[in-house]
Structure 1
Amino acid sequence: MYQTAYHVVWCPKYRRRILTGDVAQTLGSLLAEICAERGYAVLTKEIQPDHIHLFLSFPPSESIANVVRVLKGATARKLFVAHPELKQTLWDGHLWSPSYYVGTAGNVSAEIIRKYIERTEHIKGRR
């Protein structure tokens, strides 16, 4: 049994505002699909036009670096196939910026992180 949850944030290359409409929908589905296949529990996620918040938990046998590598790599490949127009905006063949943020949370702070991410959904509607 494990309780660690991770708040991960990453951005498209050049912080392009490409995660909207059908691209955002496809990305959301891909993240859910990949996480389900790998046994990662998605606690909450929020896709903004220029970044992603993902709050997830996974077995301690996995490293966060590997989980992020898998998520970014698989989503990039599949998004370029599903939305070839992205290659016109991101001409060098990379969808994601190489960096990312990660923070850990146990039971006490997990709810705070979840509320923060969910609150961004309400703020997004005001932009």
Structure 2
Amino acid sequence: MPQQLNTLYHCSYSIQFHLVACTKYRRKCITQPMLERLGIIFGETLEKWEGKLMEFNGEADHVHLLISVNPKVQPSKLVNNLKTVSSRLIRKEFAEHLGKVYRKPVFWSRSYCIISCGGAPISVLKQYIQQQSEID
């Protein structure tokens, strides 16, 4: 099955990232209701960035997002916005629970992991490019 491409007026694209975000100090503070709310927050935030939350899940101290974005998006700015918006809303909505875990208004660690994914493996792409006919 051919890869599904999205389009803008000047390009075709398929860009996906796997994002992992951890709680501050890796504290195990994410509850099931918080996880469900985070999924909603991330989905709504990505829509504003003209992106899509393709898959979401997590554990008590970190979350995994599979996201699809367009070429206009700068990944570092998107991640910063996702973490800022979700932290602000989660700390507000679950203040009592998080107040027992953190003294300061924090939720996410500064660090994150973002990995490009989707489409063919790098080895297949390298082989495809190497097999292109040479220019005379």
| Superposition TM-score, scaled by structure 1 size | 0.79
Give the number of the structure with larger relative contact order, counting CA–CA contacts within 8 Å between residues 6 or more apart: 1
**d(CA) in 2 for partners of 1:63 and 1:88?**
35
Larger Rg: 2
2:38 is paired with a residue whose SS is: helix
Quote the Cα distance in structure 2 between the aligned partners of 1:87 and 1:96: 14
Stretches (4+) displaced over 2 A: none
Determine the C-alpha separation between the residues in 1 that align with 2:99 and 2:35: 16
Equivalent in 95, 99, 102 of residue 90 of structure 1: 102
Between Structure 1 and Structure 2, which shows a larger proportion of strand residues? Answer: 2
**For residues 61-76 of structure 1, what are the structure 2 equivalents within 5 Å?**
61-76=72-87
* 1:77 has 2:88 as partner: yes
Could you tell me which of 20, 26, 50 is aligned with 2:37?
Answer: 26
Structure with bigger helix share is 1
Between Structure 1 and Structure 2, how many residues are aligned? 109
1:11–1:97 Cα contact (<8 Å) kept = yes
Could you give the per-residue CA deviations for residues 43-91 of structure 1, whole angstroms, max 9, x where no partner exists? 2111211111111111111111011001000000011111112133121
- Give TM-score scaled by structure 2 length: 0.74
Gaps (5+ residues) in structure 2? 1-11, 122-136
- Aligned mates of 2:14, 2:59 — CA distance in 1: 27
Give structure 1 stretches of 5+ with no counterpart. Answer: 110-127
